[in-house]
Amino acid sequence: MIDRATQDLAFMKMHGLGNDFVVIDARTRPVEMTAGLAAALADRNRGVGFDQLAVIDERETGPHLTFFNADGSTAAACGNATRCIARHLMQDLGQDQLTLTTDRGALATCDAGNGLTSVNMGHPLLDWAEVPLAEAMDTLHLPIEGAPTATGMGNPHCTFFVDDAEAVDLTTFGPAHEHHPLFPERTNVQVVHVLGQDHLRMRVWERGTGITLASGSSSCAVAVAAHRRGLTGRDVRIDLDGGVIQISWKDDGVWMTGPTRHVFTGTLTAEFLEQVS
C-alpha cells in the first residue's frame, strides 16, 4: 500500500456513450481507495468528475475491477466502464478477447469490430432474493405505482415502462424510487418507452450518482425486463441520452455492445490527495 498523500497518482478518463469514468490502474502501484477519496474525485468542480470510478488490480485470475459510485459507495457491476477498460487492455495486450473479473463475477469481453466493444454481463438475477428485494414477491410486476420490473445485474434495477420517458422528471422520480423500502440496497431506476420493434428509449437514474447519459447494467436490465413482459425479442436496440447501445440476451448471458472512448490521461497531485487523506 502506498502513502498516497506524498506521491502523485496517474488516472485515465474514459466514457461509454457519455457515461464517464475515472480509471486507476493499481496493478503496478497499489492504491488504497476509500469512500472519501472516491467522492472527492467525483466532484466535478473540486475533483475530476465521474459517474463511476474503477480501480484495476491484478489477481491470480488476471485483471480485477472494483467500482465506486459518485457518492463513494461501491457497485458490483458497471457495464460501460468494463467495456472501456477491456478496450484499453486489449489494445495494450494486442488481443481481441479478454476476461475481466468483478464482484459480479468473471466477464468475457471482445472486440466487436468497427470500434465497438462487447461484454457479457452474465445471467440476469430474476428471483426477489437475488435482486435483492426486501420480501418475497413477483419481480415482473412490483407492488409500486406503475408496476415496475425488478432485475439484478450485479446491482439492483427497477424498470418503469411508461408512455413517454421524456415526460418523466427524473430529478424527483429517480431518488424517490432509488430509496424505496422494497430495495434494501437501493436501486438504479429506469424509465422506458417502446419506439418500435425491438427498439426502446431509456433514461436512467443511477443509485449513488444521479442522472447519467448512459448505463450499461441498466441497459441490460431494461432489455431483460422488456423481453420478460413481451414487449421485445431478445436482441434490443436502446436509445440513451448519450447514444445507442445494443443488448442481446443469449444463452450464456446478457451481451452489451457499444462504443468507448479513452479521453485523456492525467495525474492527481500529492496536494489533492493529502487534502482527502
- Residue 160 phi/psi, 5-degree rounding, is -105, 125
What is the number of other CB atoms lying within 10 angstroms of the CB of residue 229? 14
**What's the mean per-residue pLDDT of the chain?**
95
Residue 144 lies in a domain: no
> How far is the C-alpha of 38 from the C-alpha of 116, rounded, in Å?
28
pLDDT at 274: 87
Asked if 14 and 100 sit in the same domain, the reply is yes
pLDDT at 4: 46
pLDDT at 215: 97
Asked if 113 and 207 sit in the same domain, the reply is no
Residues of the chain with pLDDT under 50: 1-5
> How far is the C-alpha of 66 from the C-alpha of 43, rounded, in Å?
19
Residue 162 lies in a domain: yes
> How far is the C-alpha of 238 from the C-alpha of 247, rounded, in Å?
8
Counting the structural domains of the chain, the total is 2
Residue 16 lies in a domain: yes
Asked if 14 and 115 sit in the same domain, the reply is yes
Q: Where are the beta strands (DSSP E) in the chain?
A: 9-16, 19-25, 52-59, 62-69, 74-75, 97-102, 105-113, 116-120, 149-152, 156-161, 188-196, 199-206, 210-212, 235-240, 243-250, 253-259, 261-268
Residue 139 lies in a domain: no
* CATH number for the domain that contains residue 51: 3.10.310.10
Contact yes or no for 97/108 (Cβ under 8 A): yes
Residue 141 lies in a domain: no
> How far is the C-alpha of 144 from the C-alpha of 140, rounded, in Å?
11
- pTM value > 0.75: yes
Residue 163 lies in a domain: yes
Percent of the chain surpassing pLDDT 90? 92
* Residues near 28 by beta carbon (within 8 Å), at least 6 away in sequence: none
The pLDDT tens digits of the residues spanning 56-82 come to 999 988 999 999 999 999 999 999 999
Residue 214 lies in a domain: yes
Q: For residue 120, what is the DSSP state? A: E
Q: Helix crossing, 79-93 with 216-228: angle to 10°?
A: 120
Domain extent, residue 111, equals 9-120+260-275
pLDDT at 7: 79
The pLDDT tens digits of the residues spanning 172-190 come to 999 999 999 999 999 999 9
Contact yes or no for 154/122 (Cβ under 8 A): yes
